[in-house]
């Protein structure tokens, strides 16, 4: 099964209020295993970057000034994500910006039936705990020491590891025993009357007794004589 784990960086919180996507990072999973295929792009937002947003992801107006517009990347992105499920942390936010950008340049929206939200999974798996990406990385022992600021591809790579843990961890698909396999948990004797075994005798022969006696005669100060 193919899935895409993705993350976005934006100029703010609401596409409807004029904010835009400035970065996307995607990681391909097949059967919950990273394939090594990724998609990563920066976009010129056609607006200035608010200082609060820049403090989160570090993307400045100067850095983004020579980047292409989203519409120039749209077809490549559509080809990469295909028609498989899309996994994101607080997925409604990322889907809102992704569909906003697609709609703005005339492409169909991505159906919400494809949305997998890892926050929903985390709340179900760990009720009452913290569910931020940092907190989940700490819980599962995922190294995030290189995460100084938010970055779409880096966060997608971290989230891919978190998602695997949330959905079963390294034991996914191990399948050592099929559900249909009958496992015998105790010994079951064959049906029918039990047949007693014949008594076996282990008496020493005359020759064996003679060899034993000759061996004993050769012993010097045997232990039974020292009592």
Residues 59/22, Cβ–Cβ less than 8 Å: yes
Q: Specify the length of the chain in residues.
A: 227
Choose, from 73, 126, 150, 212, the residue flagged as catalytic. 150
User: Among this protein's residues, is 89 annotated catalytic?
Assistant: no
Q: What distance in Å separates the CA atoms of residue 117 and residue 105, rounded to the nearest whole number? A: 25
Which residue, 174, 166, 164, 176, is CA-closest to 35? 164
Residues 8/97, Cβ–Cβ less than 8 Å: yes
Which residue, 60, 58, 53, is CA-closest to 11? 53
Q: How distant, in Å, are the alpha carbons of 30, 42, 53, 164 from that of 96?
A: 25, 18, 17, 24
Q: What distance in Å separates the CA atoms of residue 57 and residue 20, rounded to the nearest whole number? A: 14
Q: What distance in Å separates the CA atoms of residue 161 and residue 154, rounded to the nearest whole number? A: 11
**Ramachandran region, residue 65 (left: φ > 0; alpha: ψ -120 to 50; beta: rest):** alpha
Q: At 40, phi and psi to the nearest 5?
A: -145, 135
Active site residues: 150
């Amino acid at each position: 099964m193919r899935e895409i784990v993705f993350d976005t960086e934006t100029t703010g919180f609401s596409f409807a209020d004029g904010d835009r996507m400035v970065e996307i990072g995607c990681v391909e999973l097949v059967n919950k295993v990273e394939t090594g295929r990724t998609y990563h792009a920066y976009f010129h937002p056609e607006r200035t970057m608010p200082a609060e947003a820049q403090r989160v992801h570090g993307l400045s107006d100067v850095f983004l000034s020579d980047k292409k517009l989203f519409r120039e990347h749209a077809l490549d992105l559509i080809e990469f994500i295909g028609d498989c499920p899309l996994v994101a942390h607080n997925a409604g936010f990322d889907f809102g910006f992704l569909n906003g950008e697609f709609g703005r340049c005339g492409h169909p929206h991505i159906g919400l039936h494809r949305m997998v939200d890892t926050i929903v999974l985390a709340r179900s798996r760990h009720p009452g705990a913290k569910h931020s990406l940092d907190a989940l990385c700490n819980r599962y022992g995922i190294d995030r020491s290189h995460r100084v600021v938010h970055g779409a591809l880096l966060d997608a790579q971290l989230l891919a590891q978190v998602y695997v843990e949330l959905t079963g961890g390294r034991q996914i698909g191990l399948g050592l025993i099929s559900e249909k396999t009958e496992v015998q948990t105790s010994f079951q004797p064959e049906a029918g009357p039990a047949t007693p075994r014949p008594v076996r005798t282990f008496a020493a022969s005359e020759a064996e007794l003679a060899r034993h006696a000759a061996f004993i005669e050769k012993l010097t100060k045997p232990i039974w004589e020292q009592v």
